[in-house]
Structure 1
Amino acid sequence: MVGSQTISLRLKKTRQSTSEIRYVNVSKSRPIDGDRLSRVLDAGIRPLNSMLRRASTSKQTRIVTGSNNEKIIMSSCGDVSYPETLIHEFVWNNSENYPNHIALECGINGKKYTFAQAKDATSYIGRSLRNMGLKTGDVVALVAPNFPDTILSCLGISSGGFIVTTINPMYTAEEMMIQLLRANAKAIITSTSIASTVFAAKRACLSHKTPFIVIDDKIGSMPDGSIPFSDLITRGKSLPPVNLNRTCDDIVALPFSSGTTGLPKGVMLRHRNLVSNIMMVQTSIDVFQFPTSTFQDVIPAVLPFFHIYGMNALMFPRLSFGAKIITIPKFVPETFIDILDKNKVTALFCVPPIILFLTASPLVKKHHFHHVHLILCGAAPLAEMDVNRFYEKYNIDSQICEFRQGYGLTETSPVNFIGTGRKYSSIGQNIASCQVRLVDVMTKKDISTSGQTGELWIKGPHVMKGYLNDEDATKNTLTQDGWLKTGDIAYFDEDFDFYITDRLKELIKVKGFQVPPAELEALLRMHPDVEEAAVIGIPHERYGEVPKAFIVVKENKKPTEDDIKDFIKGKVSEYKQLRGGITFVDNIPKNSSGKILRAKMK
């Protein structure tokens, strides 16, 4: 299972009323403007949680008893309705209202697509893939950095009736080969900068007849026998439209888990999962407004699209609501700052290392955030002190530019919780139609009292179908009645705001006591000489396990091991002390979304 992610969202103070949003929450009986709904909504509206629809969302009755006597924590936002449609249809449903607005722009070379051009291009891509002999339900591997053509590829694959498996472009050929084989890929789309590596993986495990399509990113050359990506759009114009025989319950995306808790597994996500989660978030917090003649959200997209956070928390939702996405293939400080300089950026989707960069870099100035009304930080927890440092450095009003934290998983498409921004350590409350349980790790009984920790279980229309060709892993993660075991330890407070304490498999067991690494890491980062920290458990003959810290020190600082240990003493219980020692390192190993790879430190 992929590790948990924090997803941050903010409600803009001044925006259109909910009744003006074209995708309406039918279950809340809001007015429907027929002119604003096209055939997407005609596909059928499916009410969720019908058996529990009558449950009150007041504090006293937020916890209801299920048919198996389970204690279910309901969302204060109630239920959500969503169109039973395909993800590419959902994304483009309103684009005819702003066809000439820029949808996609490359942050490197400035290449642009309007919404009308992007919508047509995805249709042409789907037609061309069909014309190559691909069949409904075939898997197409997308291995490319963030470019406009990467987004078009993803939606084009859907429009052709295929399944996209996104692969980390930083993988080695061997790592790519593993995913290509497991996903049974029938075609590959990549870019020239990494084409040689991807081609090596293809040659080692797939038929030589497998279509190899290459985006020209102006870096590297086109391998012999490859198909230029631009040909898909050019040739597709003269091909007949695809007659799709797909439903919202068909698989459309096959991202692979990060592998932090075992071998990577293909997560089978349906059109329904992606569409419902977008509407679950939108119903819970009216985050963005559609573009007008004078306003359009502008978002630099550096979060990798192959990751579920980049895909269905940024790429699909923001296009659905008419934002302009500026793609960034790789985080380079000068490039990122240049984009902030040249564009009226309104929102930032980040991971903690980017927030730390924005705070520390002398090149970043207050005027870069003049139009920013929200900062979204995800994939790993962001400490309150890091947020405060940002506000203090730039003297920014937190009511105008506000952080929001939340929680998601690849297996849940991804968002489950959204915070209010008032409790930085909290992931917030479960979003509309997301049911939650806390299950005691030892007794396996449901927890219904605030302050008690247990494993977090999730249920809703956004939960995956299962793991590809891995029945055992699916059964270990999904119960027969649809509850997904997250593997995360959590508790809720008196306001039903939730807090993640750690991963079930990452908890350090010291003399029978549970020690969350995240707690010690946050404490270590408070030391004036510490830049980054990671904590793992190592075997101990007497105690079972003891905590060991890996520390990156700040420039020109030279703390000793005793300095760090003395700093910890008195701040935590005796069994949480760093008996495993301290190792000073140059960097902490992390995956592409910023999550600490603890397995590599053991």
Structure 2
Amino acid sequence: MQEDNDFVIEGPAPVEPLVEETAGQIFWKVLMDNDPQHNIMINAETGAVLTTKTLLEESCKLAQALRIHGCAPQTTLCIGSENNLEYFIPVFASMFAGTITAPLSVNYTDQEIKHILNVTKPRVAFCSKKVAGRYVKLKSEMKFLETVIVTNGDEEVVEGAVNMKEFVEKQLNGKVVSPYKFLPFDGDSKKNVQLILCSSGTTGLPKGVMLTHRNIVTRLLQSRHPEYLSDLNVVLGLMPFFHSYGMIFGLTSIFNRHVTVMMDKFDGDFFLKTIQDYKIPLIRIAPPLAIYLLKNPKVSLYDLSCVQEVFCAAAPLNGKTEAKLKERLNLKSIYQAYGCTEGTLALTITNKDVFRPGSCGRVITYMQCIVRDPDTGRSLGPYEVGELCFKGPTIMKGYYNNPKATAESFTPDGWLRTGDLGYYDNEQYFYVVDRLKELIKYKGYQVAPAELEAVLINHPKVLEAGVVGLPDEFAGELPMAFVVLKDNQQIGEEELKKYVASNVSPQKRLRGGVVFVSSIPKNPSGKILRKELKKKLGEYRKSIPSKL
């Protein structure tokens, strides 16, 4: 493949140079300079708050406790928790101590958790009361996991775990930790990994995306570029903090001194009531919620006149939907971004003052993009569809303990291959049109067809299976299966769907349905031809209900 760099698109000129400081040093300064009584986060349900003073003091104490406990720079920790006010305390403590943080989904099955724990091998697991029992059980099986710490509770909730306050007090043993004298980790920001975020690959099981301190610091600086930084300082925090969307925007909100009104799960009425009661002017959502706000009749029962800006990411939002939502909510701005976990989230973004329906914006500052023909490697000009490839200081270091997958994600000349197909117009606004990868995108979550196929063919009555995404207005895509049964075997669609649901996370369920066929199209080497399966969708989609 002959690659060229004839059409390189660059982001706007940075307004400030990149710095060599670590994420911990940056955030320590931000918190030290902030008003101690500033409400960083508010629990939408209880009204409880997390102040700058609490986050700074508790993070410094926990960081020192981790150091005493023997957690050196690059020791891995994990967090298994739903959104709560305590979530970012271990995140910041890890930054300050120089350890690595691996946020894990609370929706993972035992198989998925075991897999990612075996990949990252954390010494300490921070978890909420909700999942503490699962981690204690895993601790007995995985000898590298030494300590399970419950973040949101004053008392030990299960045998084998310890609450965070008790852990800190035991390690410090009466020693006072002053934030003013605390020294955050000062290692090489380009080499040292700070976050390992989970991203599914074509094998289905999560891969660990290594983001360095430099990646994170660059993303922080991008967030306050004048073209992107909102003047509004109260935001909705609904996206899961364990997801790259929730984690990165959680960090940038703290960096920019925004107040995050946090929700731990989605409930339609409570979602709308929270926006109304807290008068939230800026909401960050994924396309399914944009459609909810546009079409759900409950919206008219609440006063959402406070909403001025809507930011949408995680999957493409249809331009017509975008325009209609802007009109319905009388928004000042609605804009999109495109990105991926491997790029520290945002890679293109729309200027908040520009309305370009359907576009995910222009290349973000500090970054470069090439649209390449995936077959020839030739770089493409305006309106030519190809694979979006990126370079710049937010691109991941690689996949943790997976050099093969890392090598496959980059071109020989060093560009990150996103696996997404798109184009740009004459003004360098980008549009994502399809995915080169075969991942299904359900409500912003990546679902690997191969994983679901593996689950299906393990059923004693199933011979073969092929999984694709069924286009859906609300969710983006619904996982759907074409199934070949063994001779003389019978099973109902609902029974098979329940079988899959019992073996996978909620986002991976076969909401698109099951279609029984006589054969699955394959190439000579035996690889499933999913493009051929997708051609059959038109025959079935009218008879398959959307069940969200």
* TM class, shorter-length: 0.7 to 0.9
From 161, 164, 171, give the equivalent of 1:229: 164
Partner of residue 333, structure 1: 268
- 1:155, distance to aligned residue in structure 2 (A): 1.1
Name the SS of the counterpart of 2:10 in structure 1.
Answer: coil
Q: What amino acid is the match of 1:248?
A: S
Assess, with a 3 A threshold, how the Cα gap between structure 1 residues 507 and 173 changes in structure 2: closer, same or farther: closer
Looking at structure 2, the residues matched to 371 and 191 of structure 1 have their Cα atoms a distance apart, in angstroms, of 33
Partner of residue 216, structure 1: 152
Q: What amino acid is the match of 2:38?
A: H
From 232, 239, 244, give the equivalent of 1:303: 239
Partner of residue 405, structure 1: 336
Trace 1:464-483 onto structure 2 (pairs within 5 A): 464-483=396-415
Q: What amino acid is the match of 2:367?
A: C
Partner of residue 110, structure 2: 173
- 1:438 equivalent to 2:371? Answer yes
Q: What amino acid is the match of 2:315?
A: A
Partner of residue 526, structure 2: none
How far does the alpha carbon of each residue in 1:98-156 deviate from its partner, in whole angstroms, 9 at most, with x for none? 22211122223332221122112111111112222222210001111111111112111
Answer with 75-84 or 452-461: which moved more: 75-84
Looking at structure 2, the residues matched to 335 and 304 of structure 1 have their Cα atoms a distance apart, in angstroms, of 16
Looking at structure 1, the residues matched to 479 and 114 of structure 2 have their Cα atoms a distance apart, in angstroms, of 32
Assess, with a 3 A threshold, how the Cα gap between structure 1 residues 587 and 175 changes in structure 2: closer, same or farther: farther
Contact 2:22 2:185 in 1 (8 A): no
Partner of residue 389, structure 2: 457
Q: What amino acid is the match of 2:336?
A: Q
Name the SS of the counterpart of 1:364 in structure 2.
Answer: helix
Q: What amino acid is the match of 1:429?
A: R
- 1:228, distance to aligned residue in structure 2 (A): 0.6
Partner of residue 581, structure 1: 540
Looking at structure 2, the residues matched to 358 and 185 of structure 1 have their Cα atoms a distance apart, in angstroms, of 40
Trace 1:53-68 onto structure 2 (pairs within 5 A): none
From 210, 213, 233, give the equivalent of 1:271: 213
Answer with 260-269 or 173-182: which moved more: 260-269
- 1:481, distance to aligned residue in structure 2 (A): 4.1
Where in structure 2 are there 5+ consecutive unaligned residues? 441-467, 484-509, 514-533
Q: What amino acid is the match of 1:493?
A: D
Q: What amino acid is the match of 2:39?
A: I
Looking at structure 1, the residues matched to 5 and 476 of structure 2 have their Cα atoms a distance apart, in angstroms, of 40
Looking at structure 2, the residues matched to 533 and 465 of structure 1 have their Cα atoms a distance apart, in angstroms, of 30
Looking at structure 1, the residues matched to 47 and 343 of structure 2 have their Cα atoms a distance apart, in angstroms, of 34
Trace 1:183-202 onto structure 2 (pairs within 5 A): 183-202=120-139
Contact 2:101 2:195 in 1 (8 A): yes
Answer with 237-246 or 118-127: which moved more: 237-246
Q: What amino acid is the match of 2:85?
A: P
- 1:397, distance to aligned residue in structure 2 (A): 2.8
Partner of residue 124, structure 1: 61
- 1:306, distance to aligned residue in structure 2 (A): 1.0
Partner of residue 195, structure 2: 253
Looking at structure 2, the residues matched to 493 and 170 of structure 1 have their Cα atoms a distance apart, in angstroms, of 39
- 1:357, distance to aligned residue in structure 2 (A): 2.5
Partner of residue 521, structure 2: none
Looking at structure 1, the residues matched to 372 and 416 of structure 2 have their Cα atoms a distance apart, in angstroms, of 12
Assess, with a 3 A threshold, how the Cα gap between structure 1 residues 191 and 76 changes in structure 2: closer, same or farther: closer
Looking at structure 2, the residues matched to 463 and 129 of structure 1 have their Cα atoms a distance apart, in angstroms, of 29
Trace 1:266-415 onto structure 2 (pairs within 5 A): 266-283=208-225, 285-289=227-231, 297-312=233-248, 314-365=249-300, 368-392=303-327, 395-398=328-331, 400=332, 402-415=333-346
Assess, with a 3 A threshold, how the Cα gap between structure 1 residues 191 and 387 changes in structure 2: closer, same or farther: same
Name the SS of the counterpart of 1:356 in structure 2.
Answer: helix
Partner of residue 42, structure 1: none
- 1:72, distance to aligned residue in structure 2 (A): 4.1
Contact 2:202 2:439 in 1 (8 A): no
How far does the alpha carbon of each residue in 1:256-290 deviate from its partner, in whole angstroms, 9 at most, with x for none? 1034664321111101001112222432624134x
Looking at structure 2, the residues matched to 188 and 531 of structure 1 have their Cα atoms a distance apart, in angstroms, of 32
Contact 2:216 2:344 in 1 (8 A): yes
Contact 2:11 2:368 in 1 (8 A): no
Looking at structure 1, the residues matched to 323 and 35 of structure 2 have their Cα atoms a distance apart, in angstroms, of 38
- 1:424 equivalent to 2:361? Answer no
Name the SS of the counterpart of 1:473 in structure 2.
Answer: helix
- 1:81 equivalent to 2:17? Answer yes
- 1:207, distance to aligned residue in structure 2 (A): 4.7
Q: What amino acid is the match of 2:540?
A: G
Contact 1:177 1:204 in 2 (8 A): no
How far does the alpha carbon of each residue in 1:510-535 deviate from its partner, in whole angstroms, 9 at most, with x for none? xxxxxxx99x93xx74xxxx997658
Looking at structure 2, the residues matched to 552 and 480 of structure 1 have their Cα atoms a distance apart, in angstroms, of 38
Where in structure 1 are there 5+ consecutive unaligned residues? 1-67, 290-295, 509-516, 540-549, 554-574, 590-602
Looking at structure 2, the residues matched to 584 and 198 of structure 1 have their Cα atoms a distance apart, in angstroms, of 42
Looking at structure 1, the residues matched to 410 and 344 of structure 2 have their Cα atoms a distance apart, in angstroms, of 15
Name the SS of the counterpart of 2:12 in structure 1.
Answer: coil
Contact 1:129 1:232 in 2 (8 A): no
Higher relative contact order (CA 8 A, sep 6+): 1
Looking at structure 2, the residues matched to 389 and 551 of structure 1 have their Cα atoms a distance apart, in angstroms, of 27
- 1:536, distance to aligned residue in structure 2 (A): 7.3
Assess, with a 3 A threshold, how the Cα gap between structure 1 residues 89 and 332 changes in structure 2: closer, same or farther: farther
Partner of residue 487, structure 2: none
Looking at structure 1, the residues matched to 216 and 13 of structure 2 have their Cα atoms a distance apart, in angstroms, of 19
Contact 2:322 2:358 in 1 (8 A): no
TM-score by length of 1: 0.70
How many residues are paired up? 464
Name the SS of the counterpart of 1:581 in structure 2.
Answer: helix
Partner of residue 465, structure 2: none
Looking at structure 2, the residues matched to 347 and 465 of structure 1 have their Cα atoms a distance apart, in angstroms, of 32
Contact 1:273 1:413 in 2 (8 A): yes
TM-score by length of 2: 0.76
Assess, with a 3 A threshold, how the Cα gap between structure 1 residues 582 and 146 changes in structure 2: closer, same or farther: same
Assess, with a 3 A threshold, how the Cα gap between structure 1 residues 533 and 118 changes in structure 2: closer, same or farther: closer
Partner of residue 7, structure 1: none
Name the SS of the counterpart of 2:266 in structure 1.
Answer: coil
Trace 1:414-563 onto structure 2 (pairs within 5 A): 414-420=345-351, 421-447=354-380, 449-506=381-438, 521=471, 525=473, 534=478
